[in-house]
Amino acid sequence: MKMGKKGLLIIKIISTLLGILVVTSLILSYKVTAWVKNIDQIQLGDLEMFKRYSLTINIFAVCAIILVVLTTLFSIRFVPGKTRKIKAVLSLFLSVGIGSYVFLCLFIYYNLDGIIKLNHLVYQPKKIDQSIADKTSLLYTNIEDIELRTSDNIKLNGWLIKNTSAEKAPLLIYFGGSGEEVSDILSIFEGLDGWSVALINYRSYGLSEGEPSKNSLNQDANAIYDYFSKRSDIDNKKIVSM
């Protein structure tokens, strides 16, 4: 019994799609199980609901694995020659690997805000209280406390380090890392002669209000830039960020 190239291609596509579902299902199953174990810490809601989700995903993954094995064996059955059979299997695994990677990247991109809220994969906010902020301000003689509002009326707090006496100073805006509270690194920028440096905490970091998300990060960056570009002591033609 022989099968045409079109039939083999269809079977390969089906096997690849099933393989992608297997890989992503196993990853999702692992993450749901991890969330369930930390249910009290991250407050995901009803424990039994997530146990059912985990069981459903595991059952789906097992069924998909069986289908992948069957379709792979079926496709190999009609591929002539031992070398071509090996190439067919390797090609399938490669397609599944690449497809799973692309699928997961797209999934993370379009669900980033939800992922952030569930397990803080991206943002790890670090808060400080007012007393620490006050002590930080007293440690430096060339520092100004900054408080500004975003377009959605969220208050952001931080500091402006003035390393120059120029009437209009060039400005470096520093955007902190995912787990960084900017008061920890003020001393690093204190000696940047000739430049003022703005270090403003994103929402939910330091004394800043709100909750972090992909979109709010852009809002915060725009608000910080707009605020300093309108100040009379800043040269708005010489503003850089890092």
User: How many other C-beta atoms lie within 10 A of the C-beta of residue 205?
Assistant: 27
- Token code pair at residue 94: 């490669």
DSSP of 57-87, one letter per residue?
HHHHHHHHHHHHHHHHHHHHHTS-SHHHHHH
Task: Compute φ and ψ for 238, nearest 5 degrees.
Answer: -130, 60
- Token code pair at residue 211: 């909750």
- Position 212 scores a pLDDT of 79
Residue 225's Cβ-count burial label (10 Å; 0-12, 13-18, 19+) is middle
What is the maximal distance between C-alpha atoms in the chain?
86
Alpha-carbon distance values, 121 to 52, 113, 118, 176, 210 (Å): 23, 10, 8, 16, 18
d(CA 143, CA 136): 9
- Position 41 scores a pLDDT of 43
pTM, two decimals, is 0.55
pLDDT tens digits, residue range 153-191? 999 999 999 988 888 999 999 988 777 888 888 888 887
CA angle (47, 48, 52) in 5-degree steps? 120
pLDDT tens digits, residue range 69-121? 666 666 666 666 666 666 666 666 666 666 666 666 666 666 655 555 554 55
Contact (Cβ atoms closer than 8 angstroms) between residue 208 and residue 175: no
